Amino acid sequence: MSDGESVIWFEELARGDVARVGGKNSSLGEMVQSLGAQGIRVPPGFATSADAFRDYLAANRLDEIMGSTLAKLDAGRISLQEAGRTIRGAIFDGEWPEATRDAILAAYRTLGERIGIAEPSVAVRSSATAEDLPDASFAGQQETFLNVRGEAALLEACRRCYASLFTDRAISYRKAKGFEHEKVALSVGVQQMVRSDIGGAGVMFSIDTESGFDRVVLINAAWGLGENVVQGTVTPDEYQVYKPLLEDPRLVPIVEKKLGTKERKMIYAGEGGMTKNVPTSKAERARYVLDDGEILELARAAVTIENHYGCPMDMEWARDGETGLLYIVQARPETVQSLVVEGAFKSYSVGAHGPTILTGLSVGEAVVAGRVCLIESARDIDRFVDGSVLVTGNTDPDWVPIMKRAAAIVTDHGGRTSHAAIVSRELGLPAIVGTGDATHVLHEEQEITVSCCEGDQGFVYEGIAECHVEEMRLGDVPATRTRVMLNLANPGAAFRWWRLPVDGVGLARMEFVVSNAIKVHPLALTRFDQLRDEAAREEIELLTRGYENKGDYFVDHLARGLSRIAAAVHPKPVIVRMSDFKTNEYANLLGGAQFEPEEENPMIGFRGASRYYSPRYRDGFLLECRAIHKLREDMGFTNVVMMIPFCRTLDEADRVLEVMREAGLERGLNGLEVYVMCEIPSNVILAKEFATRFDGFSIGSNDLTQLTLGVDRDSGELAALFDERDAAVRWMIETVIERAHAAGAKVGFCGQAPSNDPSFARLLVEAGIDSISVTPDSFFSVKGHVADAEAG
């Protein structure tokens, strides 16, 4: 028998006590001891010590059984399943040493006295002494038991925790990671249950789990107890918060809110210490688990915990349904993105591909093509074919052995913090989780492509698609006087590029957010009562549920979509081009056909600035302005610059700026800059006059070339004539730079030419351009050409 303590209260523990009580419990103690004064709530409780575990083994002579059984396993004389079954059975059959049992029960009674409940309901969690180390995530290898009530039930749960140290998956995991079985002990954490069964719970990371972007907090949330989120058996809500702006209590920097289906919730099942899953109601599925205030409170807690530990953190939280209070119930170092080497990264892209079969949340950034191996039950994992794409409902730790042998993973359920997502990240596998019906849509041996390179949304394509991979090294990027910025459209992919040493975003296309996140024509929202298309009315009602004012739906989704792009490079500038759909493109939006004229040539028709002050679209532009106002003033992204496209005349410029002023967006107010696209010859001819109205110009070479040469840029017959290097186009570029600079305005270039032909950057540098904006995949080559041009 050891001389050590059997039970230690959380407030007596610190993070250096991993050897005494394991990673989870030492971390809980650290938070109770050090962070309570900073507002971090941790449910009270205690931990059994590693010595208590060793005493249990010694009292029942289990060391001998374990040693001989594991030796047989190593020698290949028995199977992994037989070894695990033998050791667990011996632990189950053991008797508690009297001193250990008395200490556990005395602490349980004291806990009841502290919280004023005679037989409190507790969570009983395993905490191995080698787990949650910075370089080894034990990802659910040991068990947790919830709603445990009564002394006999507590002792049984503790015994079951001990036995879980020798599940098949735990034995094989330790073997793979090089941990010696006999050197790992187990502590049990006994913690007051938070009534999240009637509230909500989930998981939280202080880093973006896909890109490693370290300035956001990722929160997943579901109704009921948190095990469904951890296990990936539901698709949770997902929220992301931008950390640097949390310090200002006036701001609401929530850059993502995705409504999860939250198919079921785990609740208490009577007095027996059991839990059960029940379906959620339609109202629960349609409602966010957390309101904005709660999202921000959790995000601030994540920042406090991360700052204290000095590394990115993986946390579990719970909300008490009776008190409404939020608690942190676990915290451990994040073990994937925080260890990524920052010197280089691979960029994947998809070329020609088949039809889209499924979509879901993407995990990782790679693309994999292969054959489906569909397995719906862990009982059938022996059927798995190495190198296949594993398709299943959801995974738990029993699936890890075959997940290691998969090329990619696709699941019906789960969010970014589900077991499938966490393990896929650890293994470096692309995965798409939460597809809803992959196991129904896909079939055995079907050839598919799993694409996780296109942003937050992952795509499963029919057949084998073209895949391109490019490796980029950050240490090789030269410094330049000319700013090199990015052209971005997809908010879901913005965080992928945060490590690139860019000077900001020179063109953020609003149209992508409107088409993909909003989907509705703005006038179909502001004039919904006039909408005649009944099918469109029904779809819009569904999309805007929960919004009393349908225009608010447009404002919220547009602001949040653009905020992800703004967050990716903050505080560097992000130039947001206001909507530049042509009338035929607007007409394709939900409910749009009724509000758009038919034009012979939409390319030079009712587009850009001409729409913004027109009674025909003005209230749609005001929604866009409200979104920019929310983005800058409410969310705090004052790095956002507005840009007006296709502004033909000085009178148009004045009229648009007046509408903006009415919407509270006045040039110069709170540092607001307003640019104009330079894509019409009149912008060059009257550059001096335009420069008195705008802070800068951004040259759009496609339209400028088209209108200078009179060449339809979409014409195949005239493709050879469409040339940004033509002397007339070059004169336009050089002239606007010269005249704008003389008037004190900046000039950037956001056209496609440098992305298609990086050497075009030399012409721009020689002309004196201030900035060049390019697609991310051409950033390195353009940056090199700029550096060469500046060097002479």
Whether the Cβ atoms of residue 240 and residue 256 lie closer than 8 Å to each other: yes
CA distances from 315 to 219, 306, 312 (A): 9, 10, 10
Q: Phi and psi (nearest 5°) for 487? A: -95, 120
Catalytic residue among 353, 647, 750, 785: 750
Q: Looking at 227-386, which runs of residues are DSSP E strands?
A: 237-242, 254-258, 264-268, 275-279, 313-319, 326-333, 344-350, 356-363, 367-374
Place of tokens 């903050």: 570
On the CB side of 314, CA atoms within 13 Å amount to 23
Determine the Cα–Cα distance for residues 164 and 712; give it in Å rounded to an integer. 69
Catalytic residue among 353, 419, 557, 785: 419
What letter does residue 778 receive in the DSSP assignment? G
Task: Give, for 192, the enclosing helix (H) or strand (E).
Answer: strand 186-192
Active site residue 625: no
Tokens representing 404 are 């290691």
Q: Which residues pair with 161 in a beta bridge?
A: none
Whether the Cβ atoms of residue 759 and residue 466 lie closer than 8 Å to each other: no
Sheet holding 144-149, edge to edge: 7-9, 45-48, 186-192, 121-128, 144-149
Determine the Cα–Cα distance for residues 437 and 450; give it in Å rounded to an integer. 15
DSSP for 128-153 reads ETTTTBTTB--TT-S-EEEEEESHHH
Active site residue 353: no
Determine the Cα–Cα distance for residues 554 and 518; give it in Å rounded to an integer. 6
Tokens representing 615 are 């009674």
Whether the Cβ atoms of residue 251 and residue 278 lie closer than 8 Å to each other: no
The dihedral formed by the CA atoms of 722, 728, 733 and 735, expressed in degrees to the nearest 10: -170
Q: Which residues pair with 659 in a beta bridge?
A: none
Place of tokens 């004190």: 744
Determine the Cα–Cα distance for residues 371 and 443; give it in Å rounded to an integer. 9
On the CB side of 575, CA atoms within 13 Å amount to 30
Whether the Cβ atoms of residue 679 and residue 704 lie closer than 8 Å to each other: yes
Between CA 782 and CA 789, with CA 788 as vertex, the angle to 5 degrees is 90
Sorted by sequence, the CB contacts under 8 Å of residue 224 that are 6+ apart come out as 196, 197, 200, 201, 264, 265, 266, 267
Question: Would you name the residues annotated as active-site residues?
Answer: 419, 750
